Amino acid sequence: MEKPVVVYEPFRAGLPPMREYMRSLWSRRTFISEFSRSELREQNYGSVFGQLWLVLNPLLLSAVYFLLIYVIGGSSDATRFGHLTASLFLFYLVANSLTGGVKAITSGQRLIMNTSFPRVMLPISATVIALFKFIPTLIVFGVIHVLIGLPYSWQMLWAIPIMAIALVMALGMAILISCINVYFRDISSMLPYLTRSLLYLSPILYVASSISDRIKTFEIANPIFYLLDSWSRVLVHAQAPTVFGMVHASVWALSLFTVGTYFFLSRERDFAVRL
C-alpha cells in the first residue's frame, strides 16, 4: 500500500492557511483527548491509587504550605487556609501546563518526523492533561469550603470566567514555551526555578492586600498575580473580582495566547529540522 504523498508549500506571511489549519486541528479533537488520557495512564493516573494521588497530592501540598505559614507567621486561620488551597490549586493548573508544554515538541520527535498533523496539538494536549489534574482539586476545595465554613454568594459564579481566562493563559504559555524549547533546550532546566519564583511572587502564601502599593505596581508584570487574587476573592470571600483584576488577567491571557500561537505557527515547519 502506497503512503500518501504530502506536498509542503511555503506559507504566505509565514503562517499556514488558518481556516484549513483549524479544520484539521478540530478533526483531531478525539485524538487530543485520547492522547492526553494515554499520557495520564503512563504517569500511573489510570489506576485507583493514581487517581487517589490526584486528590492527595494537592491536599498534601496545601497542608505543607499552611504549616510553613503557621511556623513563619506564628498564627493563621481557616480563611487563610482556604485562600492558600484555592490559590495553590489554580497555580498548579498553570504550572503543570508549563511543565508539560516545555517538552511537548521535543519528546514528540518520532511523531513529528513520521506523521503530518498540526504540531500545536502537542502543547494543547499538555494543557488538557493539566486540566484533568486540576478538576479533582475543585472537588477537594469544595469539601474544604464546607468544612471550614467559608461564605457563599452568587458572586462565586465569577469563578467560571476566571477559570476560562486561566485556561487560555495556561494554553498560551504551554504553546510559547514548547516552541522556545526547540531552539533553547536549557529552558527546560530553568523551568523549575521559574515556576518556583512565580509561586513566591504571586499572592498564594500571602494575600494581595497585605503588600504595599509600591511593590504591587511591579506585580503588574506578573501574569497570574491578579488572576489568583480574583480567584481568591470569588471562591474564598464570595466577593466579585475587581474590574482591574479581570482586565489585567484577560489582557495577559490574550497576549500570551496570541504571541505564543503566532510564534509557534510561524516556526512549525522548522521543527523537523531542529529536532
Over pLDDT 70: what percentage of the chain? 89
pLDDT surpassing 60 at residue 12: no
2 or 264: which carries more pLDDT confidence? 264
Closest of 88, 160, 169 to residue 127, by C-alpha? 169
CA–CA distance, 23 with 104 (Å, rounded to integer): 22
Q: What is the mean pLDDT of residues 88-93?
A: 91
Return the top range by mean pLDDT from 126-130, 147-151, 162-166, 216-220.
162-166
**CA separation, residue 109 to residues 75, 85, 114, 184 (Å):** 50, 37, 9, 16
Residue 195, pLDDT above cutoff 70: yes
Give 141 or 166, the one with higher predicted confidence: 166
Identify which has the larger pLDDT, 208 or 224.
224
Cα–Cα distance, 141 to 126 (Å, whole number): 23
Highest mean pLDDT of the ranges 59-68, 72-81, 135-144: 135-144
Write out pLDDT tens, residues 109-158: 777 777 777 888 899 999 999 998 888 888 888 988 898 888 989 999 99
| DSSP state for residue 77 in the 8-state scheme | -
pLDDT, tens digit, for every residue of 226-256? 999 999 999 999 999 999 999 999 999 999 9
In this prediction, residue 257 has a pLDDT band, given cuts at 50, 70 and 90, of: very high
